[in-house]
Amino acid sequence: MSPLRQALADYLSVRRALGFKLDRAEKLLGQFISYLEERQAVTVTTEHALDWATSPGGDPWWHVLRLSAIRPFATWLRTLDPAAEVPPPGLIRAGTHRATPYLYSGAEIAALMTAATRLPRPVSALTYPALIGVLAVTGMRIGEALALKISDFDDDAGILTVRHGKFGKARLLPLHPTTAAALTGYLAARGQLRPEPASGHLFTSVIGTPLDYNRVHRTYRRLTSQAGLTARSAACRPRLHDLRHSFAVASLLDWYRAGQDVQAQLPALSAYLGHADPKHTYWYLSAAPELLALAASRLETYLEGTR
């Protein structure tokens, strides 16, 4: 192992001990270290960092993301190696980037789950419909779902416990009885195909190991194609993470249509989604034209009542 790669391993170990997950940072920094090793560089320099961050082409926001992964590592490395350079902020200019959420209809989610039942391996044909269903009705992050253990599912109470949420926060997710029954059925059917996995994970591969994050994304992209889902625009393509967006927007729409106090309900939705601060949940209010129309109508009614 090269000194730079060992330094990266030490950096990740220290940051994770403080509660950071750094899954994306580990992948990006590993690629950056490979870049440095190919050039026989012995430390991080601003020139190398900028060249690597912008080398694949693509949008400026992606270049900013890559460079932002380097900066904390370079700052840490400089405490050990005075020759290491920390790329200054603002080297790459890019506006705020957000993909347009692909808001799934109920029919589209059903089509995805049906496509998943046709996966060639029996365990996958059971696991992927269950995984997609859970993501669609809980809005949990894919990383949280893949980390779930069988013991995190209380079938009697109908509750999932997310123990590995963002920033290390755990939370309880009450499930609709139909969801709890579907999960119970999934585990029973999978148990008939193979014994309970040694890992104890709720969602597993065909050999009983935890599902791989990247493989799940690749499989999901195939399923969207098989289900007939296509991009609505260059910035709006069906993504796995959009199941979370769809859950949040559907919850808000239901509350508006029922005449409930959405402002009062937002903290509950924020807690269910695992947001560190309710302000992060407000973004969903602008995620769908129908939500904006309902919010505007509610405001107009309020203003008329104050005249």
* pLDDT for the residue numbered 303: 44
* pLDDT for the residue numbered 96: 53
Sequence-distant (6+) residues with CB within 8 A of 212 are: 205
* pLDDT for the residue numbered 70: 94
Domain match, 146 and 180 both = yes
* pLDDT for the residue numbered 57: 62
Q: Is 166 a catalytic residue?
A: yes
Domain match, 173 and 262 both = no
* pLDDT for the residue numbered 167: 61
- Per-residue buried b or exposed e for 11-39, using 16+ beta carbons within 10 Å of the residue's own CB: bbeebeeeeeebeebbebbeebbebbeee
Residue 95 lies in a domain: no
Q: Is 217 a catalytic residue?
A: no
* pLDDT for the residue numbered 262: 72
Rounded Cα gap, residues 229 and 250, in angstroms: 19
Residue 92 lies in a domain: no
Rounded Cα gap, residues 155 and 175, in angstroms: 9
Quote the tokens at residue 53: 């961050």
Which of 190, 201, 244, 245 is flagged as catalytic?
Answer: 244
Q: List Cα–Cα distances, 48 to 53, 89, 287, in angstroms.
A: 8, 15, 38
* pLDDT for the residue numbered 168: 66
Q: CB atoms < 10 A from the CB of 184, how many?
A: 14
Residue 235 lies in a domain: no
* pLDDT for the residue numbered 302: 42
Q: Is 284 a catalytic residue?
A: yes
| Segments forming the whole domain that contains residue 295 | 242-306
Looking at the structure of the chain, the number of domains it has is 3
Which portions of the chain are predicted below pLDDT 50? Answer: 296, 298-303, 306
* pLDDT for the residue numbered 285: 60
Domain match, 32 and 69 both = yes
* pLDDT for the residue numbered 101: 83
Which of 141, 190, 201, 245 is flagged as catalytic?
Answer: 141
Helix (H, G, I), strand (E, B) or coil at 153: strand
Domain match, 165 and 217 both = yes
pTM above 0.95, yes or no: no
> First CA to last CA across the chain, in angstroms?
73
Computed from CA positions of residues 222, 224, 226, 230, in that sequence, does the dihedral angle turn out positive or negative? negative
Which of 78, 166, 169, 239 is flagged as catalytic?
Answer: 166
Domain match, 188 and 162 both = yes
Of 219, 261, 259, 226, whose CA–CA distance to 240 is shortest?
219
Residue that terminates a domain, selected from 201, 226, 251? 226
pLDDT in tens, 214-224: 899 999 999 99
Residue 88 lies in a domain: no
* pLDDT for the residue numbered 259: 80
Residue 182 lies in a domain: yes
Domain match, 196 and 287 both = no
Domain match, 246 and 220 both = no
Residue 85 lies in a domain: no
Q: Is 97 a catalytic residue?
A: no
Say if CB 286 and CB 101 are below 8 A apart.
Answer: no
